[in-house]
Amino acid sequence: MRNIWTICRRELYSYFVSPIAWVLLTIFACLSGVFTYIISASFVRISLESQMSGQTQPMNLNEQVIAPLLSNIAVIGLFLIPLISMRLFAEEKRQGTIELLITSPIHDIEVVIGKWLSAVLMYSSLLGVLLLDFSFLFFYGHPDWKPVVTGFVGILLQGACLLAFGTFVSTLTKNQIVAGALGFAFSLLLWILNWTTSFGNSATVQVLNYLSIVSHMDSFSRGVIDSKDLIYYFSMIFFGLFLTSRSLESLRWRA
Amino acid sequence: MIQVTGLSKRYARHVAVNNISFSVEKGDIVGFLGPNGAGKTTTMRILTCFMPPTEGQATVAGFDVFEQAFEVKKHIGYLPETPPLYPEMSVRDYLHFVARLKNIPNSEIKSRAEQVMERCSVADVSSKLISKLSKGYRQRVGLAQAIIHNPDVLILDEPTSGLDPKQINETRELIKSLAGEHTIILSTHILPEVEAVCKNVIIINKGRVVVTDSVDNLKNRAGIGGAIQVQVDTAGNADALAVHQRLEQVSGVSKVLDRDSTGSRFVFEVESLQGQNARADVARAIVHAGWNLLELKSSSLTLEEVFLELTGSTHAAALPPATEPSVIGGVQ
């Protein structure tokens, strides 16, 4: 445990001492702010229009603002996640510091988990910015807080999952750009797997749909925590980290 | 402390280390000497458990590098060729991180870090970012990193490469001061370094061990069987040819070469037979003939030439004349 924290702490140090964290935080704050503004502005416009036309149908802040906002945030995450994970191992390999890690009395899996955990914490600090956006919704409206919490959990799990695979591709190369590009391609692929649902409902399609990372977000943003989705996320995280540690081990044989 | 038997490391296309064996006693400083690409780094990487050997066995502090890698890692301090530094960290933070990695208890981390900074003379830059440090400082921070957990075995891969002469000296002194409590293997392709720092030397070339010996023995070997430079003043009693012939008759002399002559002063280079030193006989012969012996010095094989001869990389003749005073210093 201590070793995991040692690694994780150093990674966080690097994120926040270098411009990476601040650039990502800025990008995320700007984009999520714009999204929040556009979505809530259009919600306000629609609710005004419906009031003027005399409709008394209740407007739902959760369904019409928060759920679409969360799924848009997840898309921003798709772009930022490879930027978070790409340096994890690629940079160590380029700098030669990987020799220090491998020749220290510490298990590979501790290095892997420590690094992944730091990336997850980095990603959650991005999501932390969202609290500011959401505080306005709570200030001016009365949304149900439970779906907001589950939505956050869902986005975080989804991020943790993509970060695990991002960590894995980062072990494959010395070059951060290559790691980033591969990570992005992989995330995008997982993202669009559920598009295959338009091909019908065969067993293959069902499997692909289950594998798609997006199809598991929906229930979270509706306030439902389904064990099916939890199992999906946790097994994907496990698989990603497993691949990472195998790849790290094989590095010795290839080196 | 370190025992290597029949170690090999093969890559798809070439053999980096080919069936090498050697052992290092506790408290020794051993120089691992060889031209670039001889397999020094590969051997060190195997010893530090960075990579497994293809064949053979190596034990460090009684633990097998493959089977008990975790135990071996606890006993080893390693400075790779490029010091493993994180440029964005300050020296102190970096050493604290390494201390934690090496399982030093939290309560001792601070004091250990201060101690090694003092010892490696990097205390004055302790709060500077590593990216702002000069090469010499980086190398010393690398060394501090390697000794922070007081390991039994220190493995240093070219610890003085890229340093200026003053820094090289300081680093060598530091390494020497570490001997005794640590067993040290250091790799280098600079001979004077081995001579200045190490007790024993392992010369390796093209993945094979060429010589394992003590530095003193190797130096003696350099003195024996080498060439002697003789300057004779015959005061007009004899010409160069006569002296030449006289010298050739001395027992143990294999070859005499004319080097220089001014008036009645002649300079010859006399080569002895392998394993013999004809200096005494040459001197006696000259004096016996009634000539003045002005100078007699061993322009013999220097350690450098021995090295080149053993590794067979360049012909010894390609070297500058060894009679010039040099740091390599053959026996004079």
Q: Can you read off the two tokens belonging to residue A17?
A: 């001492």
Cβ neighbors of B294 (< 8 A, separation 6 or more) are B231, B232, B233, B265
The pLDDT tens digits of the residues spanning A206-247 come to: 888 888 888 888 888 888 888 889 999 999 999 999 999 999
Q: Residue B94 is part of which domain span?
A: 2-214
Do the Cβ atoms of B88 and A14 come within 8 Å?
yes
Burial class (CB in 10 A: 0-12, 13-18, 19+), A135: exposed
Place of tokens 């006993």: B75
Cα–Cα distance, A12 to A100 (Å, whole number): 18
| Partner B contacted by A139 (CB < 8 A) | no
Q: Can you read off the two tokens belonging to residue B115?
A: 């101690």
Among the partner residues B80, B83, B102, nearest to A104 by beta-carbon distance: B102
CATH assignment of the domain containing B276: 3.30.70.3190
Task: Using alpha carbons only, give the angle B281, B302, B22 rounded to the nearest 5 degrees.
Answer: 115
pLDDT greater than 90 at residue B273 = no
| Partner A contacted by B52 (CB < 8 A) | yes
Cα–Cα distance, B188 to B156 (Å, whole number): 9
Rounded to an integer, the average pLDDT of B41-70 is 91
Among candidate residues B191, B214, B237, the one where a domain is terminated? B214
Cβ neighbors of B182 (< 8 A, separation 6 or more) are B27, B77, B147, B151, B152, B153, B154
Rounded to an integer, the average pLDDT of B50-71 is 91
Categorize the per-residue pLDDT at B271 as very low, low, confident or very high, splitting at 50, 70 and 90: confident
Count CB neighbours of B331 within 10 A.
16
Cβ neighbors of B261 (< 8 A, separation 6 or more) are B240, B267
Residues B17 and B137 in one domain: yes
The DSSP symbol for B89 reads: S
Residues B189 and B262 in one domain: no
The DSSP symbol for B259 reads: E
E strands within chain B? 2-10, 15-24, 29-33, 55-60, 63-64, 76-79, 153-157, 183-188, 200-205, 208-214, 227-233, 253-262, 265-272, 292-298
Do the Cβ atoms of A103 and B87 come within 8 Å?
no
| Partner A contacted by B11 (CB < 8 A) | no
Does some domain include residue B315? no
| Partner B contacted by A250 (CB < 8 A) | no
Do the Cβ atoms of A105 and B84 come within 8 Å?
no
Residues B255 and B198 in one domain: no
Taken as a whole, chain A contains a residue count of: 255
Does some domain include residue B117? yes
Average pLDDT of the residues of chain B: 82
pLDDT greater than 80 at residue B299 = no
Percent of chain B, pLDDT > 90?
31
Residues B52 and B146 in one domain: yes
Residues B293 and B174 in one domain: no
Contacts A100 to B, Cβ<8 Å: 78, 80, 84, 98, 101, 145
Question: Which residues of A, range 105-124, sit inside 8 Å of B by Cβ?
Answer: 105-107
| Partner A contacted by B66 (CB < 8 A) | no
Do the Cβ atoms of A14 and B86 come within 8 Å?
yes
Taken as a whole, chain B contains a residue count of: 332
Does some domain include residue B196? yes
Burial class (CB in 10 A: 0-12, 13-18, 19+), B105: exposed
pLDDT greater than 70 at residue B143 = yes
What is the phi/psi pair of residue B4, to 5°? Answer: -120, 125
| Partner B contacted by A142 (CB < 8 A) | no
Max Cα-Cα span within chain B: 83
Q: Write the secondary structure of chain A as one string of H (helix), E (strand) and C (coil).
A: CHHHHHHHHHHHHHHHHCHHHHHHHHHHHHHHHHHHHHHHHHHHHHHHHHHHCCCCCCCCHHHHHHHHHHHHHHHHHHHHHHHHHCHHHHHHHHHCCHHHHHCCCCCHHHHHHHHHHHHHHHHHHHHHHHHHHHHHHHHHCCCCHHHHHHHHHHHHHHHHHHHHHHHHHHHCCCCHHHHHHHHHHHHHHHHHHHHHHHHCCCHHHHHHHHHCCHHHHHHHHCCCCCHHHHHHHHHHHHHHHHHHHHHHHHHHHHC
Q: Residue A79 is part of which domain span?
A: 2-254
Rounded to an integer, the average pLDDT of A65-78 is 87
| Partner A contacted by B74 (CB < 8 A) | yes
Place of tokens 């709570």: A138
Do the Cβ atoms of A14 and B70 come within 8 Å?
no
- State the nearest Cα–Cα gap between B301 and chain A, in angstroms: 39
Cα–Cα distance, B45 to A98 (Å, whole number): 12
Residues B76 and B129 in one domain: yes
Residues B206 and B88 in one domain: yes
Does some domain include residue B89? yes
The pLDDT tens digits of the residues spanning B190-236 come to: 777 888 888 888 988 888 888 888 877 776 665 555 677 888 887 77
Average pLDDT of the residues of chain A: 89
Cα–Cα distance, B201 to B32 (Å, whole number): 6
Does some domain include residue B201? yes
Number of domains composing chain A: 1
pLDDT greater than 70 at residue A38 = yes
Number of domains composing chain B: 2
> Which residue would you say has higher pLDDT here, B329 or B247?
B247
The pLDDT tens digits of the residues spanning B95-108 come to: 999 999 999 999 99
The pLDDT tens digits of the residues spanning A74-114 come to: 889 889 999 999 999 999 999 999 999 999 999 999 999 99
3-state SS class at B28: coil
Q: Can you read off the two tokens belonging to residue A173?
A: 């190369």
Rounded to an integer, the average pLDDT of B300-307 is 62
Does some domain include residue B173? yes
Among the partner residues B81, B87, B100, nearest to A6 by beta-carbon distance: B100
Does some domain include residue B111? yes
Among the partner residues A13, A14, A99, nearest to B84 by beta-carbon distance: A99
CATH assignment of the domain containing B205: 3.40.50.300
Q: Can you read off the two tokens belonging to residue A23?
A: 């650039």
Cα–Cα distance, A239 to A248 (Å, whole number): 14
Do the Cβ atoms of B101 and A104 come within 8 Å?
yes
Residues B84 and B138 in one domain: yes
What is the reported pLDDT for B194? 83
Residues B289 and B178 in one domain: no
What is the reported pLDDT for B91? 95
What is the reported pLDDT for A50? 83
Residues B160 and B248 in one domain: no
Question: Which residues of B, range 30-49, sit inside 8 Å of A by Cβ?
Answer: 45, 48-49
Cα–Cα distance, B156 to B52 (Å, whole number): 18
ipTM above 0.90, yes or no: no
Give per-residue burial for A215-226: e unless 16+ CB within 10 Å, then b. Answer: bbbbebbebeee
Does some domain include residue B202? yes
pLDDT greater than 50 at residue B320 = no
